[in-house]
Structure 1
Amino acid sequence: MTATEWTAETAGSGRYADVNGVNLYYETYGTGSPMVLLHGGLGSGEMFGPIIPILADHHQVILVDLQGHGRTADVDRPLDIRLMADDVAALIDHLGLRKPAVVGYSLGGGVALQVAIRHPEKVGRLVAASAHVSRDAIYPEMLQQQGQVSGAAAEFMKETPMYELYQRVAPHPEHFPRLLDKIGEAMAQDFDLSEDVRGLQVPTLVVAADADMAPPSHYVEVFKLLDGGLRDGGWQGEARPKGGHALAILPGLTHYDIFLSPLFAAVTLAFLDQES
């Protein structure tokens, strides 16, 4: 994967919003019903460059750079998906959006889940891609790798698209080691969102690659928390999950390329454009 794959061919309309104590950067693409799109850890909204035109052909896409990522400067607080969810909820209010879809990948998927958990009245539909809901769901070797993420690793990441992107767009490029420290600290925290997910009031699409950071069985279990995969769906779909939830395991993809895939864009659009 090259850094250029993480760059949108056409720039959106970029602005800053002072919300919840963060000067949050966002770009707007397209027209139609709004979709807030949230990137993965150590990335920015630009990660979605290849699929933005597909999404923006159907929706107004609001591409957010989360705290400490991309063009949004860090603030003096941990990288906590609950706090970042409150940032996104405040941005939704700031922009006057009425129940937009919230779509997130990886870290952004965790933030998207928290927006729907903490602020269900602000969200129309939710897409959470490659977002495991408990720390112990991911493979042991991944937990070990995550344990090695800290500012000390900055030198070893200079050839990565994450580093290139940060150096190019961050307000303070010299803060990359600090971002690694905060990401490492966040990933070291144990968590289990199962009960929160079980209580989701927003129609939710759970998306994962067939070779993701957690096994496909984990995402099936998440779907079960949402009343899915428990019975035959019926001829007319009458026995599908009561909350309008859905599951997509995308073939031939991994945690590291699913966000670039037209297949991800296609299933997202198909879910968002369903009748409620």
Structure 2
Amino acid sequence: MPNIKIDDVNMYYEVHGEGEPLVLITGLSSDHKTWLPFLPAFTNNYRVLIMDNRGIGQTEYPDTQFSVDDMADDTAGLMNKLGIEKAHVIGHSLGGRIAQKLVLKYPEKVKSLILCATSASQPKRSKLMLNTLANEVNNGMSIGALLKIMMAISFTENSFQNVDIINERIDSRAEGLSRDYAKNFARQVQASADYNTVDELNQIKVPTLVLAAEYDFIFPLEFVKELAEGISGSKLIVIEGTGHSLLLEEPKEFIKLTLGFLSKINK
């Protein structure tokens, strides 16, 4: 798929499948490849849009700081360019925050929301941790070290049965990433640092499913509950035994819950 120019951003995107539009928005420092394992489950019934957010992957943008609002504008602009008037939207982590801003700024473009392992306000512990990581990255921390720390705080103990293999895979991935990856990780952290939609959640009127991870270190359960309680009529489901990367630790459960929710939305 080509890139499309959206204002000051040249966005990389892919469209797969046929049916109602479904937009998938990735989390912090993740690109469109996050969603590739899930496409077979979605593309039978949905026209699926995946993309690289501003600051990651093959999306090009000015060498400046940006905000979550900017990323929501990017998503809306991409939808417009592709002729997508309205879509179901799934967002994980930072992607869930982008999805919140998308529906708040462009309510006419969102048919339903699935918000995964995300929040409406910023946990102080997570802010300290991520800001410290961003500062260390800017001061020269290796990309391999960054990836290993992010994995350690995003997955549960069960995902670390063979640490040697994990280290090899992360080191191999880090070799293919430039310092731009690290710089833009820091920018995405900064974009989300003071995020707060608590007082706006009552404006969200679309059917909403909130998925929480039982052992989420980045967005603890109390913060995900705050999000769900702020959206009238939303449904909260806690996926037991998972960490922040719940969709990767329990992909079958993630697919079952999302498809079940989407199937009940009026066509």
TM-score by length of 1: 0.78
How do 1:22-41 residues align onto structure 2 when only pairs under 5 Å count? 22-41=9-28
Unaligned runs of 5+ in 2: 148-168
Secondary structure of the structure 2 residue equivalent to 1:57 = coil
- Give 1:106-255 correspondences, 5 Å limit: 106-136=93-123, 140=125, 142-150=126-134, 151-152=137-138, 155-158=141-144, 160=147, 168=176, 173-187=178-192, 189-212=193-216, 213-227=218-232, 241=233, 245-255=234-244
- Relative to structure 1, the CA distance from residue 51 to residue 179 in structure 2 (aligned partners, 3 Å threshold; closer, same or farther) is same
Contact 2:198 2:230 in 1 (8 A): yes
Judged with a 3 Å threshold, the aligned counterparts in structure 2 of structure 1 residues 146 and 91 are, in CA distance, closer, same or farther, namely same
Question: Secondary structure at 1:50's aligned position in 2?
Answer: helix
Between stretches 15-24 and 152-161, larger displacement belongs to 152-161
Alpha carbons 2:55, 2:188 under 8 Å: kept: no
Which of these residues, 39, 55, 64, is aligned with residue 42 of structure 2? 55
Return the TM-score normalized by structure 2: 0.81
Indicate if the aligned counterparts of 2:68 and 2:97 stay in contact, CA closer than 8 A. Answer: yes
* Paired residues of 1:208 and 1:250 also in contact (CA < 8 A): yes
Task: Report the alpha carbon displacement of residue 166 of structure 1 after superposing the two structures with TM.
Answer: 7.7
Aligned with 1:88 (options 71, 75, 89) = 75
Superposed displacement of residue 196, structure 1: 1.3
Q: Give the superposition deviation at 1:257.
A: 4.1
Aligned residues: 240
Pair 1:194–1:265, CA change in 2 (3 A): same
Q: For each residue in 1:135-186, what CA deviation from the matched residue of structure 2 results, as whole angstroms up to 9, or x when unmatched? A: 13x6x2x333212123336543326378866864x7xx34123213313423
How many angstroms apart in 2 are the aligned matches of 1:154 and 1:33?
44
Partners of 2:50 and 2:219 in 1: CA distance? 26
> What letter corresponds to residue 183 of structure 1 in structure 2?
Q
Are residues 1:258 and 2:247 paired? yes
1 CA distance for matches of 2:76 and 2:26?
A: 16
Query: Per-residue displacement from partner, 1:209-267 (whole Å, max 9, x unpaired)?
Result: 1111223232222222123xxxxxxxxxxxxx2xxx32221122110343462211221
C-alpha distance 165-221 of structure 1, shift in aligned 2 (>3 A): same
One-letter code aligned to 1:198: N
3-state SS in 2 of match to 1:69 = coil
Paired residue type of 1:72: T
State the percentage of identical aligned residues: 25
- Rounded Cα–Cα distance in structure 1 between residues aligned with 2:121 and 2:138: 26
Unaligned runs of 5+ in 1: 1-13, 228-240
Distance 2:23 2:175 in 1: 25
State how 1:69-88 maps to structure 2 within 5 Å.
69-88=56-75
CA separation of 1:163 and 1:103: change in aligned 2, threshold 3 A: farther
Structure 2 CA distance, aligned partners of 1:267 and 1:49? Answer: 18
